A and B are shown apart, each in its own frame.
Chain A
Amino acid sequence: MTPTQKSEAKWGLLFVAPTIIGLLVLNLYPIANTIYQSFFKTGDFGKGNIFIGLANYQKVLSSQETWQALWNTVKYALIEVPFGVVIALLLAVLLNKKIGGRSVYRTIFFLPMVCAPAAVAMVWKWLYNTQFGLLNNVLHTKVAWISDPKIAWISIGIIGVWSIIGYNMVLFIGGLQEIPGDYYEAADIDGASGVRQFFSITVPLLSPTTFFIVQTRIIGALTIFDLMFMVMDKTNVALPKVQSIVYLFYQYAFTNGNKGYGATLVVILLLFIMLLTWILQRAEKKIVYHN
């Protein structure tokens, strides 16, 4: 090593040191520790933890509650991701044209992104109120938006879509601006209609952006917590049909103080997400259009 290289190596290690130490303490150790804890029963009041092997896993996996929560989470994702993506794409295409008030529209659509989900959820809960809510009183309905187990998951999903379309839209606009304008000019000369252009130019050329959004949103949706926590009262009869995996994790680990069981839930979520990421990565090569 030359002196210059040596000095560079020293500086390099010095510069990454705070981040690396932080990541080891704050992230890597916690991953190992969470997995470790999932093999223990959390002791009561000062008593040590008791090693129970795979008993937590057995309990979590044989509990109907876990599977229901996993299904609830997937159902939430099935609303938030497709609707959040399609509506955002349409808005992005509309806003990508030369029209007045573009930045005003963009500012409004993006607004939920800077609002605390706790506050957003509180407002929606009030909108959904069966007796006094705006929705039922304006529509002259009596729908139990958030306490009917058959509907509540959709109502929560709607809040999720409302919250995310602005963000997805901005990412789509970024992707759209990278598509060269001459593609559309050529298509115009050939007399291709707007719809035709959308499906044969926009959709394929935008597919890397779309794939990125879909992937991050799937993972984001699978870790949903705030909306369920704020909208659903603990006494709400629809709660078992709405609560997500992370909601369950929070309840067990921090409300009931059963850290071992909570750790097991989150390890299972980790495995589920890793599996999904792997599948998505493999699918990417087939779905995404590369030129």
Chain B
Amino acid sequence: MEGAERRARTRKLLTHVVLIIMAFIMLVPFAWMILTAVKTTQESISVDPFYILPASGWHWENFGTVWKSYNFIVLYKNTLLMIFFRVVCACLTATMAGYAFGRLNFPFKKILFALVLIQMMVPGQIFIIPQYLMVSKMGALNTTFGLVFPGLVTAFGTYLLKTGYEGLPKDLEEAAMIDGCNVGQRFLHIMMPLTRSSMISLGIFTAVFAFKDLMWPMIVCTNASTTTLSAGLAKMQGQYGSEYPTMMAAATLAVLPMIIIYVIFQKQFVEGIATSGGKL
């Protein structure tokens, strides 16, 4: 028995060793990003000696300099507005359509749902040129509306919410129907509140993917004062790519808010992103 116990303990130790090595690999880029951000430019390009830690103290003021000189407040604002409107639009339209597809009978239901499936099957790049031309024709380049435009409705969200509504028990609605509630009341007061977890998942999923998107904001918001964090970083790299502490401070500022929110709500995040993906 003692041998088995020892073997189990060795195995556990080995598991931790593997996991710690992997965690280390995952964290090195983040550590290097922050370590570079607080160095002086001289230190960052010194090879002999090569500094892993900053030698002349930690220059946290680099973040303040970058924040001011690249107008991060505007990038944050643009990104936040884009995320906010995309999440609101996605949740609103998807919960309605999801409910209808999941629980109601109406004409052309199959063919209309096929439209949802088609959108999910084709690569998103196929929409971009016409979407850009539409935004441009509306004079909405370099606006928040332009940023939100492709996300006004969501095929994926509709699919996700449809699955959510289908999973709810039938008798709930039937009871309300006997009480004389119409479809709108049933939806608003009984069914919608029950799909809260799917809605949260969709909200997180939409927010994270809007935040990560690079190509669309680069195309519709070419102005440094109207673009998002992702596209703003691309712009900065084009201009100041060899000022490494500056670039790394900018990268840190761009990823930090989402990381903080993620660490606080990590359970919802992992579930929101992964189970949404898993349900496809």
Give Cα A231–Cα B230 distance, bound, in whole angstroms: 14
Q: Is the CB of A174 within 8 A of B122?
A: no
The number of chain A residues with a CB under 8 A from chain B is: 94
Enumerate chain A interface residues (CB-CB to B < 8 A): 5, 7-13, 15-16, 18-31, 33-34, 37, 87, 90-91, 94-95, 97, 99-101, 103, 105-120, 122-124, 126-127, 131-132, 134, 137, 162, 166-167, 170-171, 174, 209, 212, 216, 219, 222-223, 225-226, 229-230, 233, 246, 249-250, 253-254, 259, 262-263, 266-267, 269-270, 273-274, 277
Give Cα A167–Cα B153 distance, bound, in whole angstroms: 25
Closest beta carbon of chain B to A71's beta carbon, Å: 18
Chain B residues, Cβ within 8 Å of A12: 100, 104-106, 109, 183
Q: Is the CB of B183 within 8 A of A116?
A: no
Q: Is the CB of A108 within 8 A of B27?
A: yes
Give Cα A5–Cα B109 distance, bound, in whole angstroms: 14
Residue of B33, B123, B158 most packed against chain A (CB within 10 A) = B123
Nearest chain B residue, comparing its CB with the CB of A133: B32
Q: Is the CB of B262 within 8 A of A114?
A: yes
Q: A15-B97, A113-B208, A219-B123 in contact; A30/B19 too (CB < 8 A)?
A: no
- Interface check B211, CB cutoff 8 A: yes
Give Cα A112–Cα B133 distance, bound, in whole angstroms: 33
Chain B residues, Cβ within 8 Å of A95: 19
Nearest chain A residue, comparing its CB with the CB of B11: A194
Q: Is the CB of B22 within 8 A of A109?
A: yes
Q: Which of A19, A118, A131, A219 contacts B153 (CB 8 A)?
A: A19
Q: A34-B126, A174-B278, A249-B125 in contact; A9/B29 too (CB < 8 A)?
A: no
**Contacts beyond the supplied A19-B116, A105-B22, A118-B234: 15 A-B pairs with Cβ under 8 Å:** A13-B106, A19-B94, A23-B155, A28-B119, A29-B130, A30-B130, A31-B126, A31-B127, A99-B16, A99-B19, A100-B16, A106-B270, A115-B212, A137-B47, A254-B132
Q: A23-B119, A273-B123 in contact; A15/B12 too (CB < 8 A)?
A: no
Q: A11-B104, A114-B259, A170-B270 in contact; A18/B153 too (CB < 8 A)?
A: yes
Give Cα A100–Cα B258 distance, bound, in whole angstroms: 26
Chain B residues, Cβ within 8 Å of A27: 115, 118-119, 127, 155
Give Cα A258–Cα B77 distance, bound, in whole angstroms: 32
Give Cα A94–Cα B266 distance, bound, in whole angstroms: 20
Give Cα A20–Cα B153 distance, bound, in whole angstroms: 8
Chain A residues, Cβ within 8 Å of B19: 91, 94-95, 99, 101, 105
Give Cα A24–Cα B127 distance, bound, in whole angstroms: 11
What are 26 residue pairs bridging A and B, where the CB atoms are less than 8 Å apart in the complex? Answer: A9-B107, A11-B184, A19-B97, A20-B115, A26-B150, A27-B119, A34-B126, A99-B12, A101-B16, A108-B27, A109-B22, A110-B266, A112-B26, A114-B208, A116-B230, A119-B230, A126-B32, A134-B52, A174-B275, A212-B278, A219-B123, A223-B123, A225-B214, A230-B214, A230-B234, A270-B123
Closest beta carbon of chain A to B241's beta carbon, Å: 8
Give Cα A27–Cα B93 distance, bound, in whole angstroms: 15
Chain B residues, Cβ within 8 Å of A109: 22-23, 26
Q: A5-B105, A12-B106, A122-B247 in contact; A31/B122 too (CB < 8 A)?
A: yes
Chain B residues, Cβ within 8 Å of A87: 22
Chain B residues, Cβ within 8 Å of A270: 122-123, 126
Q: Which of A31, A105, A107 contacts B263 (CB 8 A)?
A: A107
- Interface check B248, CB cutoff 8 A: yes
Q: Is the CB of B33 within 8 A of A250?
A: no
Closest beta carbon of chain B to A232's beta carbon, Å: 11
- Interface check B121, CB cutoff 8 A: yes
- Interface check B15, CB cutoff 8 A: yes
Closest beta carbon of chain B to A134's beta carbon, Å: 5
- Interface check B182, CB cutoff 8 A: yes
Q: Is the CB of A266 within 8 A of B229?
A: no
Nearest chain A residue, comparing its CB with the CB of B113: A16
Closest beta carbon of chain B to A111's beta carbon, Å: 6
Residue of B100, B126, B184 most packed against chain A (CB within 10 A) = B126
Q: A91-B22, A216-B280 in contact; A123/B251 too (CB < 8 A)?
A: yes
Q: Is the CB of A19 within 8 A of B158?
A: yes
Chain B residues, Cβ within 8 Å of A30: 126-131
